[in-house]
């Protein structure tokens, strides 16, 4: 299965990736819409983050309305804020500065 995050193809992981919010949230809404050709999941958080994921038989595509940093070593997706500084290490890990 192919996986895309904000338009970039990324390494698929059976365990998935954990979202790490740099700006905390207290409430969110989650809705899943099932269709014959796939499933659309909408997630809206009170910190302004919106995540939309479409899963079909061939691929999973996720759009997040923020810049992101992907830590492939620890399977984490950091959802960044506008003032966040990030260093990507050669091994695929990420450091938030």
Rounded mean pLDDT of 12-23? 89
In this structure, the strands spanning 2-5 and 59-64 are parallel
Residue 14: per-residue pLDDT: 78
Bridge partner residues of 21 (DSSP) = 79
Q: Is the pTM of this model over 0.85?
A: yes
Residue 15: per-residue pLDDT: 82
Rounded mean pLDDT of 62-71? 96
Which tokens sit at 48? 């302004």
Token look-up 């990420």 returns: 94
How many folded domains does the chain comprise?
A: 1
Bridge partner residues of 44 (DSSP) = 29, 50
Range(s) of the domain holding residue 57: 2-96
């Amino acid at each position: 299965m192919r996986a895309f995050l904000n338009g970039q193809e990324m390494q698929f992981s059976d365990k998935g990736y954990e979202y790490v919010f740099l700006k905390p949230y207290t409430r969110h809404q989650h809705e899943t819409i099932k269709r014959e050709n796939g499933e659309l999941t909408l997630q809206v958080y009170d910190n302004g983050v919106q995540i939309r994921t479409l899963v079909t038989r061939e691929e999973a595509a996720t759009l997040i309305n923020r810049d992101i940093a992907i830590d492939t070593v620890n399977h984490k997706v950091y959802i960044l804020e506008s003032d966040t500084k990030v260093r990507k290490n050669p091994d695929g890990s990420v450091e938030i500065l």
